[in-house]
Amino acid sequence: MTRPRIHRFISSDGAVHFYRVWSPHPPQPQRGRVLALHGIQSHSGWYSQTARALAASGFEVCWLDRRGSGMNETDRGHTPHAERLLHDVVQLRMHLERLEPHPTPTILLAVSWGAKVATALVARQSSSSPAPWAGLALLYPGLFPKIGPRFDQRLRLALARFLGILKKPVRIPLDDPALFTRDPAWQTFIRNDPLALHTVTSGLLLAGQDLDRIVASDSARITLPCLLMLAGGDPIIDNTATLGWFTGLPSPRKTLHTYPAARHTLEFEPEFPEVAQALVDWSLNVTASGSNTP
């Protein structure tokens, strides 16, 4: 079993960010890199099965803990604005390329809420030439959630934006681990995870709104290979709206996998071996195609 190495980098605003790295199994050559983003409540430690499957197939997997999440102890659950989240990913990519200056095809992978950041970033960068990413992999993306703030909560959030109140704590409405998985053991893991977030700030939620606006306005520019994986029994994500958005992307290379009985976090579901194989196959295909030149 491959254990991750824990590294850190410092972003341009001085914040320290931890990330986990899973390396290819020797003597497997490195076929590419996967830079991955987690959800609103989770962190990089939730996704070791996915990372190990990719590493076993020749990918270096770098899974970032979002600022204020996971191993990052400062300003828990907070971000000052959406642009900062986008910059963090770009600066991690630059940090990794300084460590390994040789060209490496890189996939941007995101699960759940992290898909807001990944999709907004890809949409923003789609006009650049050459394309900075080999592909975009979205697993049960949180672009169109079923669960969100009530009307009164949205009004308070709008007031917080107007008044510049960015550190007001807000409870994440995902307290039941059964929303994430059918598996009792994984439900216990989620319930007892000391690094999981249960509260975020108004700043992070406002950043999420701003990322949604970027996705809505700029998705029509996404032409790189895209993968969408949906959990058919997902109580958190609106799969119909997500599929409609995905179908409308201009990318000529779109791949869809749906797992009808699965709940939100495919990592924790019985279908995971099938999920992992499909993700590995797609990743090998897009990196072998030479669509990415850093």
Q: Which two tokens stand for residue 137?
A: 């992999």
Contacts of 179 (CB under 8 A, 6+ apart): 147, 235, 236, 263, 264
Residue 294 lies in a domain: no
Residue 85 lies in a domain: yes
Which pLDDT does position 293 carry in this prediction? 39
Residue 80 lies in a domain: yes
Residue 207 lies in a domain: yes
pLDDT tier at 128 (50, 70, 90 boundaries)? low
How many structural domains does the chain have?
1
Q: Round to whole Å and give the CA distance between 285 and 65.
A: 27
Amino acid letter, 171: R
User: Domain of 279?
Assistant: 5-288
The CATH number given to whatever domain includes residue 51 is 3.40.50.1820
Q: Answer whether residue 110 shows pLDDT above 90.
A: yes
Residue 293 lies in a domain: no
Is residue 118 within 8 Å of residue 109, measured between CB atoms?
Answer: yes
What are the start-end ranges of the H helices in the chain?
A: 48-56, 82-99, 114-125, 151-163, 184-192, 202-218, 239-247, 272-288
- Predicted model pTM: 0.94
The helix or strand, by DSSP H or E, that contains position 139, with its residue range, turns out to be: strand 135-139
Give the pLDDT confidence of 212-267 residue by residue, as tens digits. 999 999 999 999 999 999 999 999 999 999 999 999 999 999 999 999 999 999 99
Q: Which of 97-101, 114-118, 181-185, 204-208 has the lowest mean pLDDT?
A: 97-101
Is residue 235 within 8 Å of residue 146, measured between CB atoms?
Answer: yes
Backbone angles phi, psi at 174, to 5 degrees: -135, 50
Q: Round to whole Å and give the CA distance between 80 and 85.
A: 9
